[in-house]
A and B are shown apart, each in its own frame.
Chain A
Amino acid sequence: MAFTSFADFLAMGGHAPYVWSAWGVTLFLLLASVWHARLERRQLIKGLKRRERRDQAHRATQQDTAARNAAAGGGHHDT
């Protein structure tokens, strides 16, 4: 341990403004990079899932309409 107390550690032998601003900016940028990467990934996945849901719903209605048309058409043919 290079310091005798926590206050001593914070004071950095009079160099506190330099040491803490340089370290603060660096650690902030590292954490911000991780945060940004996570947000980016989550939003992309959300968008892709939404599209799959929409397409699946779209396919379902199409199949439904096709089935109904076939049923209606079939009925017409019979009479």
Chain B
Amino acid sequence: MWAFIHKLGSPKWFYAISAKLQPWCWAVAALLIVAGTVWGLAFAPADYQQGNSFRIIYIHVPAAFLAQSAFISMASAGLVFMVWKIKVADMAATVMAPFGAAMTFVALFSGAVWGVPTWGTWWMWDARLTSMLILLFLYLGVIALRGAFSSRDSGSRAASVLAMVGVINIPIIKYSVDWWYTLHQPATFSVTSTPSMPMTMWLPLLVMVLGFYSFFIALTLMRTRSEILRREGSKRWVRELFQEAR
């Protein structure tokens, strides 16, 4: 186990193994997102109350899932970096932040647009909406804090601490719809309980959620590899990579 962690923590080993995994992740992501898009937009039946505006669910829910999962991943990577000083974990945390912020924005934007025909308003200071907005600010805070130090190591540690503290917002987001039920409806999608919507609506949603997760993994692998090149560029093994590649 320890040997495995240290091997995984070695940039050289990670660079090699991620090269093998990455194409598969991209292929799965593309396949699932294309299939889920066609299925969700054209084939799933319209909702009997909301009509076709409900098709926004196929991006809104996956984006909201990912917004929170990316934050938990980023904070976990921060913890690994702080405890074991594994640099690859910090590199992964670095590249997860902008994408997590983008997904939070997508969840907020698609929710606002969906809210107009459904609730008659694009925004309300509802607990779920507000805690998601806080999540966006946390992401932006982590990104800004990382860049605010002249030493990279100080920036990494500050960003890790903020991410770990910010994780407290995740259960607040999750339970906000039960604790302070004002506008946003409680969860409609769960992997553990029986779906509350018909299979023809639920399956494309499952496909999209899995597609978004694959996309996140693929993008994180790809950008962590770039981050390795950026930070470890003067290491012998990186230099050898590009001496032969001419």
Contact surface of A with B, Cβ cutoff 8 Å: 1-3, 9, 12-15, 18-19, 21-23, 25-27, 29-30, 33-34, 37, 40-41, 44-45, 47-49, 51-53, 56
Contacts and interface: CB of A to CB of B under 8 A. Distances in A.
Interface stretch (B1-9, B85-93, B146-154, B236-244): B236-244
A39 B235 CA distance: 22
A53 B43 CA distance: 55
Given A22-B56, A41-B225, A52-B243, 15 more contacts: A3-B42, A18-B116, A19-B41, A22-B110, A22-B113, A22-B114, A23-B37, A25-B106, A26-B63, A26-B110, A29-B106, A33-B99, A37-B226, A41-B222, A47-B233
Contacts of A27: 37
Contacts of A15: 51-53, 117
A29 B117 CA distance: 24
B26 to A, nearest CB: 9
Contacts of A56: 243
B141 interface: no
A2 B204 CA distance: 14
B51 A2 contact: no
Nearest to A44: B229
Given A15-B117, A26-B110, A1 B42 contact: yes
Contact of B106 (A26, A44, A51, A53): A26
Contacts of B229: 41, 44-45, 48
B46 interface: yes
B174 interface: no
A56 B242 CA distance: 12
A44 B45 CA distance: 46
Contacts of B63: 26
A47 B230 CA distance: 10
B59 interface: yes
Interface string B36-51: 0100011111100001
B52 A30 contact: no
Nearest to A23: B59
**10 closest A-B pairs by CB:** A22-B110, A15-B53, A13-B52, A12-B52, A26-B59, A22-B113, A44-B229, A13-B51, A22-B56, A48-B242
